[in-house]
């Protein structure tokens, strides 16, 4: 469920808790961090004790059946039949591996631990302390409000950059490459062909090729661009408009535009003004 994630932090009663977010409602929250409120030295034991109860397994199983079509019910029923007995021990890793669960993640390395979908994380927090859960929810709502504001601001920055020289470019195509006798449909093909010339010069692929390579992504190739790429796009749109007006052929233009795009991208990597602009996007993450 987690694809491109951003790390955020919430604080509840002095306990710092990591949140992994995609900018959607499907955030994952660290159970390991939540467990530190109860046992700072051995938080993993707290999570395992929670997983031992039948009530917990009922809740997890219901959640998985609602959201996970590949959940393994046979293995789940086996765990549920053993829950509550003295010999029953269940780790997050075992739960995930045996049942194909998606509501919980075990992440190794620094900053890792056990993470769970926010629905599950809030249930775990309630088991530790209902009062503690309320503090978590309160600061989580603050985090989401901040995140939504930053995403909206970042989207507006990118939208503006994408439109900087759009009119200059389309006017050059209209005035120099489109005969007046073409139909509206034929004209649209010319505009699309020039747009893909820019896409190929900058990204190395056309819009259609990008969609085929990224079937699970929404938007288009330019929506997925970095701020540096959009700045270069604005520049090469202007340059391409100039080349069109000078009658330079498309094969010659794409070679020169690709050279300029690569050169400008390298120059922008260490540009302080671009870094300042990118901070709008980078503030969504906390390494």
For residues 139 and 168, membership in a common domain is answered with no
Cα 209 to Cα 110, 156, 206: the distances in Å are 37, 26, 5
Could you tell me which of 186, 187, 193, 171 has the C-alpha nearest to residue 253?
A: 193
Tokens, residue 52: 């031992």
Residue 111, in any domain of the structure: yes
| Phi-psi category of residue 206: left, alpha or beta, with phi > 0 → left and psi -120 to 50 → alpha | beta
For residues 135 and 224, membership in a common domain is answered with no
Residue 92, in any domain of the structure: yes
Residue 153, in any domain of the structure: no
For residues 89 and 181, membership in a common domain is answered with no
Answer for the pair 136, 18: CB distance below 8 angstroms, yes or no. Answer: no
Answer for the pair 237, 202: CB distance below 8 angstroms, yes or no. Answer: no
The model's pTM is 0.54
DSSP letter, residue 40: S
Single residue among 86, 112, 145 that ends a domain in this structure: 145
Could you please report the per-residue DSSP string of 209-255? Answer: HHHHH-TT--S-TTTT--HHHHHHHHHHHHHHHHHHHTT--HHHHHH
Using CA atoms, how far apart are residues 259 and 1, in angstroms rounded to an integer?
38
pLDDT at 247: 93
Using CA atoms, how far apart are residues 37 and 51, in angstroms rounded to an integer?
17
Using CA atoms, how far apart are residues 115 and 19, in angstroms rounded to an integer?
8
Find the domain containing 211 and state its range.
Answer: 164-282
- 151 Cβ contact partners less than 8 Å away, ≥ 6 residues apart: 23, 284
For residues 135 and 170, membership in a common domain is answered with no
Helix, coil or strand: residue 17: strand
pLDDT at 92: 94
pLDDT means per 10 residues, the chain with 287 residues, are 65 92 82 95 94 93 94 93 87 95 89 91 94 92 74 59 74 90 90 93 93 83 82 89 93 95 84 55 45
CA 246 to chain centre: 42
For residues 176 and 235, membership in a common domain is answered with yes
For residues 75 and 125, membership in a common domain is answered with yes
Packed helices 130-163 and 166-177: angle between N→C axes, nearest 10 degrees: 40
For residues 90 and 198, membership in a common domain is answered with no
Packed helices 227-245 and 166-177: angle between N→C axes, nearest 10 degrees: 30
Residue 274, in any domain of the structure: yes
pLDDT at 285: 41
**Number of folded domains that form the chain:** 2
Answer for the pair 55, 83: CB distance below 8 angstroms, yes or no. Answer: no
pLDDT at 217: 78
For residues 129 and 221, membership in a common domain is answered with no
pLDDT at 198: 94
For residues 114 and 49, membership in a common domain is answered with yes
For residues 201 and 135, membership in a common domain is answered with no
- What phi and psi values does residue 90 have, to the nearest 5 degrees? -140, 120
Q: Which helix (H) or strand (E) holds 21?
A: strand 15-21
For residues 191 and 138, membership in a common domain is answered with no
Q: Degrees (nearest 5) of the Cα angle 142, 11, 118? A: 65
Residue 80, in any domain of the structure: yes
Residue 157, in any domain of the structure: no
Residue 1, in any domain of the structure: no
With 0-12 CB in 10 A as exposed, 13-18 as middle and 19+ as buried, what is 276?
exposed
pLDDT at 22: 73
pLDDT at 65: 95
For residues 20 and 140, membership in a common domain is answered with yes
Residue 287, in any domain of the structure: no
pLDDT at 41: 93
């Amino acid at each position: 469920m987690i694809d491109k994630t951003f790390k955020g932090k919430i604080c509840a009663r002095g306990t710092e808790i990591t949140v992994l977010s995609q900018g959607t409602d499907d955030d994952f929250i660290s159970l390991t961090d939540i467990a530190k409120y109860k046992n700072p030295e051995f938080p993993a034991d707290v999570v395992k004790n929670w997983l031992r109860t039948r009530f917990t397994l009922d809740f997890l199983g219901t959640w998985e059946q609602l959201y996970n079509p590949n959940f393994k019910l046979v293995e789940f029923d086996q765990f549920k039949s053993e829950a509550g007995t003295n010999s029953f021990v269940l780790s997050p890793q075992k739960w995930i591996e045996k049942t194909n669960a998606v509501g919980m993640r075990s992440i190794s390395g620094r900053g890792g631990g056990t993470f769970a979908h926010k629905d599950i994380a809030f249930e775990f927090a309630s088991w530790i302390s209902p009062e503690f859960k309320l503090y978590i929810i309160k600061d989580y709502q603050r985090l989401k409000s901040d995140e939504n504001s930053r995403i909206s601001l970042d989207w507006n920055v990118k939208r503006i950059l994408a439109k900087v020289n759009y009119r200059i470019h389309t006017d050059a195509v209209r005035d120099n490459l489109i005969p007046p006798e073409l139909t509206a449909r034929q004209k649209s093909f010319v505009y699309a062909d020039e747009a893909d010339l820019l896409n190929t010069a900058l990204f190395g692929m056309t819009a259609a090729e990008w969609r085929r390579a990224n079937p699970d992504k929404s938007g288009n190739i330019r929506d997925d661009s970095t701020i540096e790429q959009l700045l270069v796009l604005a520049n090469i749109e202007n340059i391409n408009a100039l080349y069109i007006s000078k009658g330079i052929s498309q094969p010659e233009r794409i070679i020169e535009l690709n050279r300029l795009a690569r050169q400008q991208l390298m120059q922008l990597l260490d540009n302080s003004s671009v870094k300042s602009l990118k901070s709008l996007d980078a503030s969504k993450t906390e390494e």
